[in-house]
């Protein structure tokens, strides 16, 4: 059955909210996160800052070295969440079903509003274009922000569409055009193709989606059970439904020490192992995390949790480790010996490109538990 799916992605959401609320920041590189003179990380970056190579989860000091003229702004998570609620409630009021995958991104099922004709399915997609333009204009006029939207018959193509002309883009991928649209894209553009799978495909001569389309087999010999799905994705076929439940998904790892400890090398080693474990689970499930939490328990069983959210999802164990270290240091959580240390990832969303967890280098990183 043909469907009408929109993928809506707010443009540089955190930084755009700051530029809206502070007109003097507009057109300038805005970096949402800790000040570069403090030990901290970047939560988000405006497009102006991204041109300098600034990205989420990067140490603020590194961001400052890359972009010394950047404007560093402390994150206002309550403001961003409130803005998100306003935007997506306005979208729900239109009658579409919404799978909100993060604070600034959602899939919209608009099939009931634009019922497809099985003989001419692309007509429904065309009919949805004015609706998509109206959503973008409402967000611009009512909230002073921009969004990019992809319109297609499934989640895979809609997500590719929203990414195609960011920022402030609108792209329709018609069923009649989907094979040709996908053909020149690199293999890693497809949902579920991460670094390791991409390298494996490249070694076998598969560099573009067109190479996958031309292969006569189902790719099972190369990518195991993912092979048949990957072959379908290469032709723009994706039957995944919207997930409309509100369950909060998370992945975590905890260690209870044999004796309470505040030994920094022990805690760093524990946190590294937890980050590697969580990153492995994210990779296998083709997920990324927008929020990282740490949990500590002291000898008297007092338990504390702290978290940080970043705009761009993280999958790399080094980013998870760095954010965990920063939380421990910011909150001075290791002021006395710990009975338990835990690391968690939540705000999980599907990503089209996953980085396989890599072994940590022997050299120390910039972030360490205080």
Are 50 and 81 in contact by the 8 Å Cβ rule? The answer is no
CA–CA distance, 325 with 267 (Å, rounded to integer): 10
- What does each C-alpha distance from 273 to 61, 99, 229, 252, 355 come to in angstroms? 25, 32, 31, 12, 17
CA–CA distance, 128 with 6 (Å, rounded to integer): 9
Active site residue 105: yes
- What does each C-alpha distance from 184 to 66, 143, 208 come to in angstroms? 32, 36, 6
Name the β-bridge partners of 303: 297
For residue 271, what is the enclosing H or E element?
A: helix 264-284
Are 5 and 108 in contact by the 8 Å Cβ rule? The answer is yes
CA–CA distance, 146 with 327 (Å, rounded to integer): 31
Question: Which pair of structure tokens corresponds to residue 68?
Answer: 């010394």
For residue 198, what is the enclosing H or E element?
A: helix 195-203
CA 11 to mean position of chain CA atoms? 13
User: 122-143 vs 77-92: helix axis angle to the nearest 10?
Assistant: 140
Burial profile 116-127: b = 16 or more Cβ within 10 angstroms, e = fewer: beeeebbebbeb
Please, how many CA atoms are within 13 Å of residue 370, restricted to the half-sphere of its CB?
14
Residue of 18, 105, 109, 311 marked active site: 105
Rounded to 10 degrees, what is the CA torsion of 322, 29, 160, 227?
A: -30
SS3 67: coil
**Positions marked catalytic:** 105
């Amino acid at each position: 059955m043909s469907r009408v799916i929109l993928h809506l992605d707010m443009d540089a959401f955190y930084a755009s909210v700051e530029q809206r609320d502070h007109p003097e920041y507009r057109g300038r590189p805005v970096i949402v996160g800790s000040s570069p003179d403090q030990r901290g990380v970047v939560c988000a970056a405006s497009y102006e800052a991204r041109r300098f190579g600034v990205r989420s989860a990067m140490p603020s000091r590194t961001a400052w070295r890359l972009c010394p003229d950047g404007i560093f702004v402390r994150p206002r998570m309550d403001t961003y969440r409130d803005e998100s609620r306003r935007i997506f409630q306005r979208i729900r009021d239109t009658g579409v079903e919404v799978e909100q995958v993060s604070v600034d991104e959602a899939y919209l099922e608009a099939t009931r509003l634009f019922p497809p004709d099985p003989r001419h399915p692309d007509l429904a997609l065309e009919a949805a274009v004015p609706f998509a333009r109206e959503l973008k204009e409402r967000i611009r006029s009512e909230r002073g922000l921009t969004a990019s939207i992809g319109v297609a018959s499934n989640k895979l193509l809609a997500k590719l569409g929203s990414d195609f002309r960011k920022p402030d883009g609108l792209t329709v991928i018609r069923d009649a055009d989907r094979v040709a649209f996908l053909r020149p894209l690199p293999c890693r553009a497809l949902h579920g193709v991460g670094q390791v799978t991409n390298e494996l495909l490249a070694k076998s001569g598969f560099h573009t989606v067109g190479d996958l389309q031309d292969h006569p087999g189902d790719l099972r010999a190369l990518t195991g059970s993912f092979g048949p799905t990957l072959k379908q994705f290469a032709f723009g076929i994706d039957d995944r439904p919207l997930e409309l439940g509100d369950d909060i998904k998370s992945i975590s790892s905890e260690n209870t020490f044999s004796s309470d400890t505040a030994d920094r090398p022990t805690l760093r080693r524990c946190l590294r192992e937890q980050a590697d474990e969580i990153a492995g689970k994210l990779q296998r499930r083709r997920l990324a995390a927008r929020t990282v939490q740490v949990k500590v328990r002291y000898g008297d069983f007092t338990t504390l949790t702290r978290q940080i959210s970043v705009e761009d999802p993280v999958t790399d164990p080094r980013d998870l480790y760095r954010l965990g270290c920063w939380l421990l240091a910011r909150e001075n959580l290791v002021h006395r010996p710990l009975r338990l240390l835990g690391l968690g990832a939540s705000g999980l969303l599907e990503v089209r490109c996953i980085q396989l967890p890599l072994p940590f280098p022997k050299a120390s990183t910039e972030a360490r538990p205080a």
